[in-house]
Structure 1
Amino acid sequence: MSGSTSANEFQVVVVGFGPSGAVAASLLGAEGIRSLAVDRDRAVYDKPRAIALDHEILRLFDNLGVAEQLRPYIAPFPASEHFGARGQLIRRIDMVSEPYPLGYTPTMVFTQPPVEEILRAHARSYPSVEVELGTELRRIEQAPDGVTLELRGDRGTRNLTADYVIACDGASSSVRRQLGIGFDDLVFDEPWLVVDLRVNVSGLAKLPRTAAQFCDPSRPTTYIVGPGTHRRFEIMLLPGEDPRAMEQPEQVWRLLARWLTPDDATLWRAASYRFHALVASKWREGRVFLAGDAAHQQPPFIGQGMCQGVRDVANLVWKLARVLRGDSGDALLDTYQDERSAHVRELTTRIKAIGHVICERDPEAAAARDIRILAEGGGEPRTITRQEIVPPLSCGLRADAPHATNGTLFPQPWVLTAGGRQLLDSACGAGWRLVLRGDSALAQSRDVAARAAEMGLRRIAIARADRDAGAGVLREESGVVTDWFARHGCAAAIVRPDHYVYGVAADEADLAGVLSGLAARLQ
């Protein structure tokens, strides 16, 4: 179906204008898709909830042109030191070292309210995007040629139609409930208290300099270093404790007494949660798609909650754009659930495993846990990276020929251009790309260049800065891409608009096969 022939008022309606919904609206706007975003709340919630994002998400924000506006509210996420039952260091979770694979600090903390305001304003800047706040979805009905939504807001109650709907309306999603879609329970249910503080100079001197996980069976506690003076504690609640009572300031300060007094900080937020591991049984019902918390919830132990929602919409929107333009058939949209559900389930399983280690309440089991974790490091605390915890795409739109790189994120180097030092996406743009090792025969092949142009792939050849690879070849600063090619035994990578590798090839014959497979899958 082509959007140009649609009789519906909008091509896409986004229900929910939190971070995932705002990013979805911006991505739709960047594609020129006639869109409406609605939210029943008029203003951004003025307290922090999400606190972490990673380099994949900042790369997307940079593609949208909004990263520089966000930088004042973002800071590096320091290593998280895990302390055992006796207070001994048992392991660290950190980020990969430089040169950073995507060009940005791999893991970051951020302050949600101003970031969300910027994301909303950016979405509104696109001519094809309309936004209606204070607007509630009352009813949703589907037909073969579109979706009818009943909305109630400042313009009264009215019906409108859309080709597709993206439901980003949170954990209690009314769209999900109206569609009758349930959650698969991945069996994690623990009560925690989340406390956000603005800490003064005296308080900062008392706190750890890095993030920390206190795996104390008497009271497991997480400590996170946010931007500026923002600090967060996540404190496990014990059997018999009333979650609402534990939110009260006197109880909060009692729990924080080990580290701080009320003279050291201002209490910003205290909210009790049950940390769940839930994934929607279906992510697509006809022309309606679930995304963000409407589709999944996971424990927060490596800070992937908001990242997952942004990954959802980044995966979905470029596929919707192809279908709306008539470039691909509707079956392409089925890969959204295939890819994102499997990815979320695998990452949630890994996060659960970390959570079970942290949440151990039995002293003997906790002591055994500490011995086991130290043994895994040869008797010393070992360091694992957050990046190795996040899995690749394991299915969906990937090349049929198996390869370790299929479904992984393609790296982004700093390249040296006539305009100065730039990140690859800034220099060359995103979209579908064919990236070639600059010193390979593939980079010199006219047939390869012609095939890439025929398929609408942006051809990019990259070589090391110290190599004279000839005209039309970009020089990269730190060997990020050329080392990646060498490590994986290939000379070409087909990269999707969301930066995941579709497939790779070592020579022209291999590449011809991979490109033919891609053309068939997309059409």
Structure 2
Amino acid sequence: MSNGSRSRPPHVQVAIVGFGPAGSVAAALLGARGISTYVVDRLVDVYDKPRAIALDHEIFRLFDNMGIADAVRPHVAPFTASQHFGADGQLIRRIDMVPEPYPLGYVPSMVFTQPPVEEALRAHASGLPAVTVELGTEVVRVEQDADGATLLIRDAEGRDGSIRADWVIACDGASSGVRQQLGIRLDDLVFDEPWLVVDVRVTDAAALARLPQTSAQFCDPARPTTFVIGPGNHRRWEIMLLPDEDRFAMEKPERVWSLLSKWLSPDEAILWRASSYRFHALVAERWRDGRVFLAGDSAHQQPPFIGQGMCQGLRDVSNLVWKLASVIEGKADPSLLDSYGEERAAHVRELTGRIKTIGHVICERDPVAARERDARILAEGGGAPRTITRQEIVPPLRTGVVAGDTPAAGTLFPQPWIRAAEGDRLLDAVAGTGWRLVLDASFAADPAIDAAAKAAGLTIVRISGGDAGGPNAAGPGLAERDGVLARWFAGHGVGAAVVRPDHYVFGTAATAADLLALITTLGRRLARAA
């Protein structure tokens, strides 16, 4: 029931309800900082079939920071471009990824196989000394007071127990019992469509070659369908169900193979999963209740049209954990925690709105309206199919712990490859992942800036000038390989960036005076504890 021989502690700093991807990443991030963490889940095993299928470079950067990139990489592949076909089968647009050199150092969009990746996340979190995991155990109730929360729990044999925690993170899924107990309502963003999700492993090489060689959205008003190329021989179809179709009957193998008959026959592939869902757009009205925070599917659900469901949940815990750790470690005032829901709710709502717009385009059932849609999309590209990137669909942070009046505030800070004698390394491996002040060569050494940065807890990272970090780069500092940061700084007209632990830009500056003012603003925003 528990991991290893560790018994349940009577008190922890953080308790996590749910050991799915969001819960396991939250536990690993906390445990890596030595914060005592207890994780409970009513299920024992990882679900053995794929549900989430997409990752992006922000999430892979998180995995790399955690030290599990090598464990995850065998189960990950680049996400192929997605071709959108209109009502008459014509190409109307493409969704692809930004070109090299990649802004975060990784392929920007990826597909993955969830069960082994989730196993790797669990194993990593469970192996940390500060983390205790108890499976096959459910949370019956959470009781709070001013100083913390008590989880009343029950194991598979019906034995009751409890654990005391200073803080609780509820990562217990879309039907979250914790959220329901707290009476937190989900705001309906008005998207409700029935779909069948089918995963197969293609066993016939000729059939695999016959299938589309890119992912696709078939915006056919008769039956909108999504096709995704997963790792290896994994292929996924997401098929819209029609009003007169019973969702459970459509899950039966004979009906599934009928739907796939234009692409595959049963002797060419193994049916891995067929599950019907109602694709929703829901966001919690509030993300915190006293000592309890919601994260992942317990806080939001969105349609899957650009594969951001799991990414959103991991953004939640990445955002929350550095703030929670700052408060626990006495580096920030507890008021910092209010920014978690502020930032994540606004981001999720904006991204969900964009996903809904894409979904409405795909789900158009009226043939006349569908042809009008196709003409409009082609007209937006000047009469030809245009390409947009998945990266431009994901918005920046627009509120919270960001200096929004400075260029690039709230965006993800790039991660270039840094040249080193022992071989090129990514910036995070060289500079770390805490609060950073990144300076380009336009900023000369300045004792006042150094002192202010040290007082604010910022690690100073200097990027050398010259030919974009080439062998003739001038000045002290790290030499980047491909000029990613040089172009980023020049494009925003700045030479300094204050970067948060979750890699979002707090703010930027072009002059020493502006930078000193920015660092002062950061101190006020964090209300740094003495």
In the superposition, the TM-score normalised over structure 1's length comes to 0.97
Give the aligned partner of residue 303 of structure 2: 299
Alignment partner of 1:141 is 2:146: no
Give the aligned partner of residue 118 of structure 1: 120
Give the aligned partner of residue 196 of structure 1: 199
Deviations 1:202-261, CA, capped at 9 Å, x for gaps: 320220000000000000000000000000000000011000000000000000011111
Gaps of 5+ in 1: 1-6
Is residue 407–residue 508 contact of structure 2 (8 Å, CA) maintained in 1? Answer: no
1:407 partner amino acid: G
SS of the equivalent of 1:137 reads: strand
TM-superposed CA distance for 1:87, in Å, is 0.3
User: Which runs of structure 1 show a deviation greater than 6 angstroms over 4 or more consecutive aligned residues?
Assistant: none
Deviations 1:35-91, CA, capped at 9 Å, x for gaps: 001110000000000000000000000000001110000000010000000000000
| 2: CA distance, partners of 1:444 / 1:469 | 14
Give the aligned partner of residue 6 of structure 2: none
SS of the equivalent of 1:372 reads: helix
Which residue, 172, 183, 186 being the options, matches 1:183? 186
Alignment partner of 1:405 is 2:396: no
SS of the equivalent of 1:475 reads: coil
Which residue, 16, 40, 47 being the options, matches 2:18? 16
Which residue, 369, 391, 397 being the options, matches 1:387? 391
TM-superposed CA distance for 1:417, in Å, is 1.5
SS of the equivalent of 1:306 reads: helix
TM-superposed CA distance for 1:443, in Å, is 4.2
2:235 partner amino acid: R
Distance 1:253 1:355, change over 3 A: same
Gaps of 5+ in 2: 1-8
Which residue, 349, 352, 369 being the options, matches 1:345? 349
| 2: CA distance, partners of 1:469 / 1:176 | 55
Give the aligned partner of residue 4 of structure 1: none
The 5 Å alignment of 1:330-341 reads 330-341=334-345
Alignment partner of 1:451 is 2:452: yes
**Length, aligned pairs only:** 513
Give the aligned partner of residue 494 of structure 2: 490
| 1: CA distance, partners of 2:511 / 2:155 | 58
| 2: CA distance, partners of 1:203 / 1:394 | 46
Identity of aligned residues (%): 65
Give the aligned partner of residue 66 of structure 2: 64
SS of the equivalent of 1:474 reads: coil
Give the aligned partner of residue 438 of structure 2: 435
In the superposition, the TM-score normalised over structure 2's length comes to 0.96
Q: CA RMSD in A?
A: 1.1
| 2: CA distance, partners of 1:80 / 1:182 | 35
Deviations 1:265-323, CA, capped at 9 Å, x for gaps: 10000000000000000100001000000000000000000000000000000100011
Deviations 1:386-442, CA, capped at 9 Å, x for gaps: 000000001000115x134010000000000132100000111111000001x21x2
| 1: CA distance, partners of 2:435 / 2:284 | 29
Is residue 143–residue 149 contact of structure 2 (8 Å, CA) maintained in 1? Answer: yes
TM-superposed CA distance for 1:468, in Å, is 3.2
2:445 partner amino acid: Q
SS of the equivalent of 2:414 reads: coil
TM-superposed CA distance for 1:452, in Å, is 1.5
| 2: CA distance, partners of 1:204 / 1:403 | 50
| 1: CA distance, partners of 2:221 / 2:177 | 38
1:387 partner amino acid: Q
Is residue 286–residue 341 contact of structure 2 (8 Å, CA) maintained in 1? Answer: yes
SS of the equivalent of 1:519 reads: helix
Distance 1:288 1:443, change over 3 A: farther
Is residue 443–residue 461 contact of structure 1 (8 Å, CA) maintained in 2? Answer: no
| 2: CA distance, partners of 1:100 / 1:159 | 47
Alignment partner of 1:157 is 2:151: no
SS of the equivalent of 1:444 reads: coil
TM-superposed CA distance for 1:159, in Å, is 1.5
1:169 partner amino acid: D
Is residue 167–residue 291 contact of structure 1 (8 Å, CA) maintained in 2? Answer: yes
| 1: CA distance, partners of 2:407 / 2:362 | 31
| 1: CA distance, partners of 2:210 / 2:406 | 49
Which residue, 423, 426, 442 being the options, matches 2:426? 423
Give the aligned partner of residue 50 of structure 2: 48
Give the aligned partner of residue 75 of structure 1: 77
1:53 partner amino acid: L
Alignment partner of 1:514 is 2:515: no
Is residue 407–residue 507 contact of structure 2 (8 Å, CA) maintained in 1? Answer: no
Deviations 1:338-390, CA, capped at 9 Å, x for gaps: 00000000000000000000000000000000000000000000000000000
Is residue 168–residue 291 contact of structure 1 (8 Å, CA) maintained in 2? Answer: yes
